[in-house]
Structures are given as C-alpha cells and as structure tokens.
Amino acid sequence: MIIEKPDPQAFKSRSREAVQDPLLRRNIREAMDFLVDRRASQFPDQAEFERLRAIGESIRKDSLRRLPQLLEKLEARLQELGVSVHYAETPAEANALFRSIARRHQARCMVKGKSMVSEEIELNHEMEKVGVSCIETDMGEYILQLAGDRPSHIIMPAIHKTKEDIAKIFAGKIPDTAYTDDVDELISIGRRELRTHFRDAPIGVTGANFLVAETGTIVLVENEGNGRMCTSIPEVHIAITGIEKVVDRLDSIAPLFKLLTRSATGQAVTTYLNLVTGPRRPGERDGPREMHLILLDNGRTQAYRDDRFRATLQCIRCGACMNHCPVYTRVGGLSYGTTYPGPIGSIISPHLLGLESTKHLPTASSLCGACGDVCPVGIPIPKLLLSLRQASQNTLPPSSQPLIGQGSGRSIPEVLAWKIWRLLYANPQLYALFTWCATRMRWLTPSYQGGWTRARAPLRPARRSLRELISQQEGKAMRKP
C-alpha cells in the first residue's frame, strides 16, 4: 500500500484541521498526560535526575566530539565480527543498499522492527516499488501499515488511534477476523498474523538505539520482542541507523538506557535489551548467517559541522520533549508532516529536509522551555529553535556556513516592518509623531490582521498613549493648589 508522502510545508493548514478535531485532541491529550505522569513517577527526585542527565549529556557530547574516530573504530570492530558496514549519504543510497541485498538473496519479503530511520528513507515505499514487501512487526507500526497511515509519535506511533479504530482496521484488513475491541484479543490477533511473516521472511530489518565502538555492539531497546525475532530468525539481518548513535564504551550504555526508558515510557527498564554482536558463529543455534549495518548521514553532518546545532545530534529519541510540548499536545504528530514530530522534529528536520520546506516548524513552539527541562541528555531545544528561526530569516553571522534553505523564510513585508520599527524606536521625535497619529487615527486600523485575527480581536491603538496619559496626570497634579 502506497502511503501519501508527508509535506512539512502544509504544517499550518494541517494544524488548523487538527485543533478542530475534538476526538483527536482528546486522544492525544489523554495519552500525553499518561506518559507525563509515568515519567514523573520514575524521576521523583529532581536532583537525582539532574545528576543522571549530566552523565548522559557528557557521554553524548564526548561521543559527538570524537565522532569520526569512533565511527572508524566501530567499523573496524564490526568487520572483525563479520558484519558488513555501509555508509549512505542520502536516503536514495540507503535504499539502493537494501535493494542490492534483497536482490542477492532473491527476497520478496522483509520483516521490520521499529526504526524511525527506515521511516526517514521511506523504506517500505521504496521496497514495494521493486516487489519486496516490508512487513512492520512493532504492533503500533503494524496497525498503521494496515490502515495506510503514518506514525504520529516516535515511541507510540499509533497513539492517535482508539481501540475501536484498531478493531475496525483488523476486522477490515485481516481475513476471517471478527470485530472485537478487547485489547488483549487485538494483540493476540496481531501477533498470530505476524508469526507467519517471521517464519518465512529471509531478511530482518531493525534500527539501533546505540552503537558501541569498542565492542562492535548494536544495542536495541524494545518491549514487544519483535526486534529480537527480527535479529535472530531471518537468515539476514540489516540494521540501519544514523551516524550519530555511536558511543565509545559499553559501560556508557547503562546510564543512557536508564534515561531512555524512564523518559520514553516511564519504565525503569524495558522488557528487552538486545546486544547484537555479529552474525551466527559456529556452534550457535540461532541468529542471522549474514549481517549488515547501514549508517545514514542524510543531513546530519550539516548539524555536526556547526557548534550551534551539533547538540541536536545528542538526541536518544525518547520523545519526552513532545510529550511535554503544549503545541504537539494540541496538533498531534501528523500535522508536522515529518518523520520526527514535536520539538525534536522541529530542530532535526531542517537538517534532514532543508529549511525551505521546514521553515514553519521552528516557529511551532511557545518557547515555554518544557522540552529543554525534560530532555534527558541536556539538549537546549529552545535555544536551537531560536537559532533556526534566525537562519530561516538569514540573520546568522556571515562567517558561518549557511544551512540548506537558509533565508527561505525571509519575506519583504516582514523585513520592511522591522526596518520601520527600528527607525521609529531609534528616533524619539519620530516615535512621538507616530504614536500621536496612531492614537488619533485608530479608526483606520484594519479589521483583518493576518493569522492574529483568525482567533482574536484586531489589535487597535488606545485613544491616548501611556506617555500622554502620564503627562496629563502630572499636569493635573501640578495645577492643584
């Protein structure tokens, strides 16, 4: 099934539609409140959270500082373990690697664990073009694949669906399935269907939460066991992830794992923590006979080369920022039109897709700071949003390298408005003349003022300026005997 390609340029129109949908708003609000409460229960001591966050932030910053060296170290170690390592600069290159491996094994089907990077490269869509079906095995992703829908949250992709929605999807899409909205029954139906695909698919695809350079380990965090089955049952395992996921040492995983699970789902630990270190060895009874790792750039080096944006790559994809974002909570993930929605999506998508198509996303924030407060690895998200807004208006220092699409948000009326504002505020006589005219001719104020008047009354100058009112009060006081 071909799913419509998302379009971040339609963010404003889709957001307006989303806020008019009371059912969608209620579903997302309840889900976000649930996740916020669960996370809070895991971090009852703010001081302990700050201590753990400082450790996680330090690990991620140090890993990014040495990223080129760690990638070389990881590649060498994985090759020693029998893993083929591939680098893909673009989604097209990554999909070409998948096609090549599938063609060599004459595969017509792949089973896929949850992977946002595979969503980033539109893997399902691209493989379908060459006759290879890519079956989602994460239950949320599987529901969306049946429905022809897209993930709206990076941890809980089908969070915008109710159990009644899922019951209708299963009854309509899975043969010989009766309608039921019993959650346990729905899960059993989904698992039963997926077993067949696990058994028959020659290739399993997963993402990776972390990569460990010193041991050549691919770390996979999950709750359903489908990731473990994708990595152990098919003859071939292909893992795909971004180049920024590497850390140096295995002992760095413990604090990052604690921060990830507690921030993402409010769990002390997840059900599964998979450490994959190469294909099946002689004497082992399960595991893939061939293994590949695809490391995707897709704009990440743009964020990496600039110190102001490098912190974006610290992200461990927990989703806590979107759970606490007042904008995401009201418009939902599908409004963003990107693989990564919410605050983290607003700071990473401009690097993956360019600022021209994503220029509205950095403005989709009230800058309340909640996203930065809960980030488990200390990403200064509000600061990055402001920097991207500046880049959109082409106001970064001339010495810096421009971002792709920099200046695309610049508009002549806005530039003129700010120039006039600067002229007035730099000249007291001119400012006084302007306020005198504005207060006396307030009846000329237009009733339509762009986006402001869609939900608010028009802005109109007062009958007299504050300066005039104070002068009048002082004059009266002086005239009193």
pLDDT per residue as tens digits for the range 361-419: 999 999 999 999 999 999 999 999 999 998 998 765 665 678 898 888 888 888 899 89
* Whether residue 481 has pLDDT greater than 90: no
pLDDT at 411: 86
* Whether residue 111 has pLDDT greater than 80: yes
Residues contacting residue 455 through CB under 8 Å, at least 6 positions apart: none
∠ CA 232-237-238 to the nearest 5 degrees? 145
What would the mean pLDDT of 240-244 be, rounded to a whole number? 97
Buried/exposed code over 52-87 (b: 16+ C-beta within 10 A; e: otherwise): bbebbbebbbebbeebeebbebbbebbeeeebebbe
pLDDT tens track for 133-150: 999 999 999 999 999 999
Percent of the chain with pLDDT over 70: 98
Buried/exposed code over 220-238 (b: 16+ C-beta within 10 A; e: otherwise): bbbbbebbbbbbbbbbbbb
Residues contacting residue 321 through CB under 8 Å, at least 6 positions apart: 342, 343, 344, 370, 371, 372, 374, 375, 381
pLDDT at 409: 87
* 68: nearest Cα among 277, 297, 281, 360: 297
Cβ neighbours, 10 Å, residue 129? 11
Phi, psi angle pair for 162, to nearest 5°: -90, 170
Tokens of 221: 């965090």
- Cβ atoms of 230 and 205 within 8 Å: the answer is yes
Q: Is 265 helix (H, G, I), strand (E, B) or coil?
A: coil
pLDDT at 415: 87
Output the pTM of the full model. Answer: 0.89
Q: How far apart are CA 245 and CA 377, in angstroms?
A: 13
In the DSSP assignment, the letter for residue 25 is H
217-222 and 83-88 beta bridge pairing? unpaired
Tokens of 271: 């059900």
Q: Is 421 exposed, middle or buried (0-12, 13-18, 19+ CB in 10 A)?
A: exposed
pLDDT, the chain, mean: 93
Cα 232 to the center of its chain, rounded Å: 28
pLDDT at 287: 93
- Cβ atoms of 347 and 362 within 8 Å: the answer is yes
Tokens of 247: 């850390």
Q: Is 133 helix (H, G, I), strand (E, B) or coil?
A: strand
pLDDT at 1: 57
Strand intervals (E) in 34-147 = 83-88, 109-112, 133-136
pLDDT at 400: 67
pLDDT at 396: 59
Q: Tokens 């949250």 correspond to what residue?
A: 153
* 27: nearest Cα among 469, 329, 438, 476: 329
334: left (phi over 0), alpha (psi -120 to 50) or beta: alpha
Rg of the chain (C-alpha set): 26
* 245: nearest Cα among 74, 396, 411: 74
317: left (phi over 0), alpha (psi -120 to 50) or beta: left
pLDDT tens track for 312-355: 999 999 999 999 999 999 999 999 999 999 999 999 999 999 99
pLDDT at 479: 75
Q: Tokens 């209708």 correspond to what residue?
A: 168
pLDDT at 298: 97
- Cβ atoms of 61 and 244 within 8 Å: the answer is no
Length of the chain: 481
